Chain A
């Protein structure tokens, strides 16, 4: 890896949500998987995460934790999709 994007200050924290927790997340949000925003497997962040967590299949969920001046800490989720 030439450069770890996750270490860049403008890139928020991305974490793979364990498959056991995925349903809990979806339940809390009262949504189905397809209603989540998407992230491509080819996204640099996923490339990095794969280096850490091993291969990430489509359909897995990523938690994005952002820190902002107005909102404090906010959590968002992404669904991994192909290509």
Chain B
């Protein structure tokens, strides 16, 4: 075994669960509880009450009567309540049912012949021997019980068996007659030990009659502390409230029974006691109303404390709250590097890094401490102070303005001081939901005025952040190892390439892309003033030589300016995002200036846009990150985005609805083509009614009509878009954004300028609403275009009332879909993560779990890290060939291009949006569909 490699990790060998017997309950009990009262008039706990001081202490200064400990020394002690009549424990009803059904009502023996029992016993032992786990043994015992339940007559005493049913939650019936818990208990008592073993129970630690309670364990007061309000009133814990109920009814039941009250009354009280004990365990038992607080709020009892997202496991054990963290609203800052985060002064003063005092830094640390907790620099700017000084014995001394000097004197080697943040400290920055490893990245601090966290816009995509009120969290690392790891592995620049699809997730967005387009498209020229303005944004001090001189004036081309930030030996060729779609010739590409050719770090042709610098698609970003390393890629993204913003500021950029203005005759042309399409559908409907429609294979006549109509109307919308598009040139702002990939699509534009098109629900034309028609505006049975959700109008022209309604119907589907998808994918992700969280790639390339068994013999079967691969391959042969053989791009590149296009990657596909609030679900049960 590889045991020696496992270090200090320890494995749990087994966990044993057992039942508490009434004897054991009484033995571990510190006191018997008999009265429902808690405190007397002086505020002292009443003896043998629920707050008895034998149960532990919750008030400082008092001592525990059982162990003598004070508040933090005494762990608390259990007490118990002797129940007047036995009640069933809700947690075990299923097991009780199984046992009652599998054993004889008279003699209590298992309803199997001796031989059968031995066979099952042997099978169980065999499974255990082969290392079968608890679930596998469970299968055998389940089978045993099922077999026993089938038998109608006891093989041992010959007694005819009744049919035991469970009336949820806790009532058992035999052939319709009610079995009292007392009777149930008596039956369970009769089951012999050896028969229990066959059923998989160990009678030494779990006798079945213990599932029917005769004594109830009362948890220590430390588990259910009462809180004293400011007004001096005491407010008790929910559990205490519930126990009070149990005690009250228990008392009344005992009195009535002892006084010989009528059977009916005793039974009613008995049932009430059962209700209280049941809700004490689980207040969400189906079939009974939850017990409520006086205010109407349901009580949080034992099961509720453990279960679900807010329960002990998920909330307190799997998840923990941390110190040294901050949360605030985020806002953009294009000046910051992608590696940085702007931290408000207020936050920086609270967040600290521990600095260990050594001989080499003793003096400087003393200086820090001396400056107190709120020092300022020479210019009144932020300077880091010290909040706490920690002595070698662990005592913490708060540094204040007053004591700073004194405390500073005491600082010696071996002390630790908690220094406030300074520029350059590495911190973790996170936005929920954390679906990615890129949802939590390392940033370098920049302490800044104002109250928001700020970061570069290029980092929005990995966090999926925007600035409409998003908040993010920041964590300050507290150890040298953590800081080193964060710097090497978690820094933003290390995550430019995503492991999900091997491309960049960090890169230009929106204005960066528009700006790059404006800077580099065709023969864009800039004057000396403009060039100095753009270059002032990045640290290029020397003006490059002008490209054109005209009429005594010098001009610089945008392509030359952009080339200034490219590495000198970079050569690549690719299509711009503005390139016309489809397989097109070189000539057309060149005409649109959409074939980017970079040779030796100079942009020879082509427009720089989304395909060059964009997040998810930027080829230059991709290549730089891959071939020149994260440092070069970071520098490039910082500079390219700043430069693009400089360019867009010079030209100015705006869009409005009049960007979708098209000439009258174009409008008429669109109207005409839509009319023809509608008439065509009309004709289709006619031929359908006449029975002349030709049926498509595998489709009914109605389906054929629908498919044909959808096809015609879809084409009509595209045509309208094309007509409109013809009148919207590349100089149009909206078109620039759509074509360059900054924001929006040509479809969006054609819906604004041309026609919105067919609305659909579940991929079909709208059909529901009234009897045989969508709206009362149409005739019953009308199958025409307009009657079934075709919207002729454009967003710009405005919609007719019926169209508006149809549009709302189509829009609703989208909303419902996202709502359903998010909840479901969130749950799926949770289950996946729970299954995969501790898998790890070992040094030998295998993927293993914590037991060191192999899950995959080679990571991903090929051992390739997707974020370091080229289109899924470890080496980029094309690239190497191009390097070695010299340049020969066009056809090869074009092939690659098409391959890429077939992936059909768009920004939308990059994210499966998951809502902030995770759906509340049971571990094994999927969320119910409603």
Contacts and interface: CB of A to CB of B under 8 A. Distances in A.
Contacts of A77: 857
A74 B861 contact: yes
B854 A37 contact: yes
Contacts of A37: 853-855
Interface residues of B, number: 19
A76 interface: yes
A72 B873 CA distance: 11
B862 A36 contact: no
Given A30-B844, A82-B130, A70 B857 contact: no
Interface in A1-51: 29-32, 34-37
A75 B857 contact: yes
A68 B861 contact: yes
Contact of A35 (B852, B862, B872): B852
B127 to A, nearest CB: 9
Given A71-B862, A74-B861, A34 B872 contact: no
B229 interface: no
A75 B846 CA distance: 12
B130 A36 contact: no
A32 B852 CA distance: 10
Contacts of B852: 35
B411 to A, nearest CB: 52
Contacts of A32: 1
A66 B861 CA distance: 9
Contacts of B844: 30
> Contact residue range for chain A?
10 to 19
A35 B130 CA distance: 16
A29 B852 CA distance: 12
Contacts of B91: none
Interface string A62-74: 0000101011101
Contacts of A72: 862
A23 to B, nearest CB: 16
A35 to B, nearest CB: 5
B830 to A, nearest CB: 24
B123 to A, nearest CB: 11
Given A30-B844, A32-B1, A74 B853 contact: no
A38 B130 CA distance: 14
Contacts, number: 41
Given A30-B844, A34-B853, A70 B130 contact: no
B138 to A, nearest CB: 14
Contacts of A66: 861
A66 B130 CA distance: 30
Contact of B853 (A30, A35, A76): A35
Contacts of A31: 2, 854
B863 to A, nearest CB: 8
Contacts of B809: none
A29 B861 contact: no
Interface SS of chain B: helix, strand, loop or mixed? loop
A83 B654 CA distance: 70
A29 B23 CA distance: 55
Contact of B860 (A30, A35, A36, A71): A71
B510 interface: no
A35 B854 CA distance: 6
B857 A71 contact: no
A64 to B, nearest CB: 9
B903 to A, nearest CB: 13
Contact of B861 (A30, A71, A82): A71
Nearest to A82: B130
Interface string B275-295: 000000000000000000000
B70 interface: no
Given A70-B862, A70-B864, A82-B130, A36 B1 contact: no
Contacts of B846: 29
B796 interface: no
Nearest to A30: B844
A70 B853 contact: no
Nearest to A38: B853
Contacts of B858: 71, 74
Contacts of B872: 70
A28 B769 CA distance: 68
A11 B848 CA distance: 24
Contacts of B860: 70-71
Contacts of A34: 853
A65 to B, nearest CB: 11
Contacts of A75: 857
Interface string B807-847: 00000000000000000000000000000000000001010
B854 A36 contact: yes
Contacts of A76: 856-857, 861
A38 to B, nearest CB: 9
Nearest to A68: B861
A37 to B, nearest CB: 6
A30 to B, nearest CB: 7
B862 A74 contact: yes
Contacts of B2: 31
A71 B858 CA distance: 10
Contacts of A71: 858, 860-862
B133 to A, nearest CB: 12
B853 A36 contact: yes
Nearest to B136: A83
A35 B6 CA distance: 14
A42 to B, nearest CB: 13
Contacts of A68: 861-862
A68 B863 CA distance: 13
A48 to B, nearest CB: 22
Interface string B248-265: 000000000000000000
Nearest to A37: B854
Contacts of B854: 29, 31, 35-37
A76 B854 CA distance: 10
Nearest to A81: B130
Contacts of B855: 37
A74 B130 contact: no
Nearest to A31: B854
Contacts of B856: 76
A74 B1 contact: no
B576 to A, nearest CB: 29
A70 B1 contact: no
A18 B857 CA distance: 20
B11 to A, nearest CB: 14
Nearest to B856: A76
A37 B848 CA distance: 10
Contacts of A82: 130
A34 B1 CA distance: 9
11 contacts: A29-B846, A29-B857, A34-B853, A35-B848, A35-B854, A70-B864, A71-B860, A72-B862, A75-B857, A76-B857, A82-B130
Interface of A: 29-32, 34-37, 66, 68, 70-72, 74-77, 82
Given A30-B844, A70-B862, A70-B864, 5 more contacts: A31-B2, A37-B853, A37-B854, A70-B860, A76-B856
A-B interface, 5 closest residue pairs, ranked by CB to CB distance from nearest: A71-B862, A71-B861, A74-B861, A35-B853, A76-B857
